[in-house]
Amino acid sequence: MKLHTFVTDTSNPQTRGRQIGERWAEQIRQTVSLYLDFFNQVDVAPERVRHLGEASLGALEAWSPNLAEEVAGIALGADLPFWQLAALNARTEILAVMPTPPEGECSTAVYAPRGAQAPRSIQTWDWHDSLVPDGLLLQFPGSAGLSVKLFTEFGMLGKIGVNSAGLGLHFNILHHGSDNDSAGVPVHAIARRLLEEARSVDEAIALARSARVSASTVLTVFSRHDRSPRAASIELAPQATAVVLPGEDGWITHTNHFLAPELVPDERTLDVSTTYARLEHVNAHRAAMTGANLASRAEAMCGGLGDSAPICFIPDLALPPTERWETLLTIGIDTEGFALDYAAATPLALARHGQARF
């Protein structure tokens, strides 16, 4: 994955959307084309893709008109039909109707103990390598007066990021028996609005609870301020929104299965998924993952197994694109410095070859 950066000073959502759409039209059109083809490969019919995309953006218009305006602006700037940008932003809602849920993606670890020390975080973002040849790092002024920095796929509203109030957010997909085709608010848009508006973990939880969802995801949020709670994994499912708090040691870890007791019984993760092995691995190595430098946390996250650790995905090019995975990004969030530290690589590669800062 090749990463690009874009900084804008406009707080007008439609203007910002048009700026992004015009500047990155080639990458956005390619991402839309790749996803539309992918949906077809996993047996979600084109007419259903369009319906779910448009209906999910209708839910977004009711929940956050500003973000819906930005999607419209991106479509105009990139000269694409509005429904195609709607479907792209609702990709998780569309994938939720697949007969068999996809393999899990992403491993997240946040160390947020009480006291003056800022939280330390790290996440791997694992996804189909064929879908994301390019990614975007975006900085902009949000609707509530906060500045935001985030990583996302081209054309999508949000994913992983930090705001100037010192709130960080990591993003992992989940699968639940209550996932359905009712086209709720896109979960990527929920992550984006939390970054734009939430100044504390409590505010982030309240905002997330206000959205009706049709697909499952967990948003792990944390604050540079020593408040209670200082961190939480917000597990979103159509059945309910649940909150998982850190342990007494300040650690909160998550992969791609539910941890909240009320949502675990209808967990829909495949038995063959790596999510359980990845969480066990992260928890076994987390005591060594408290270093101030992301490289030290990344090396510790792999442990002695290096790139053979279950948290690292190396694509098998012999497999079809729908069954092929890659660790496309390793990223840490600096809530004090309002920055993202990252490498488009596995944690081991970041530790050995360095990181960039945005």
Residue 319 has pLDDT above 90, yes or no: no
Dist CA 64 CA 187 (whole Å):
12
Residue 271 has pLDDT above 70, yes or no: no
Mean pLDDT of 204-227: 97
pTM of the model: 0.97
Nearest to 260 by CA among 287, 220, 224: 220
pLDDT of residue 315: 86
Report all structural domains of the chain as residue ranges with CATH numbers, in order of start. Answer: 2-95 (no CATH), 107-357 (3.60.60.10)
Condensed to tens digits (0 to 9), the pLDDT of residues 107-133 reads 999 999 998 789 999 999 999 989 999
The amino acid at 325: W
Q: Residue written as tokens 């103990």?
A: 113
Nearest to 94 by CA among 19, 187, 231, 22: 187
Least confident residue range of 31-45, 148-162, 245-259, 271-285: 271-285
Mean pLDDT of 20-43: 96
Residue 237 has pLDDT above 90, yes or no: yes
pLDDT of residue 159: 97
CA distances from 148 to 130, 163, 357 (A): 28, 4, 14
With vertex at residue 255, the alpha carbon angle to CA 315 and CA 356, rounded to the nearest 5 degrees, is 65
Residue 104 has pLDDT above 80, yes or no: no
Dist CA 89 CA 83 (whole Å):
10
Q: Which three-class secondary structure state does DSSP give residue 242?
A: strand
Nearest to 74 by CA among 84, 61, 65: 84
Compute φ and ψ for 253, nearest 5 degrees. Answer: -130, 150
Dist CA 1 CA 298 (whole Å):
19
Assess contact for 298 and 127: CB atoms under 8 A: no
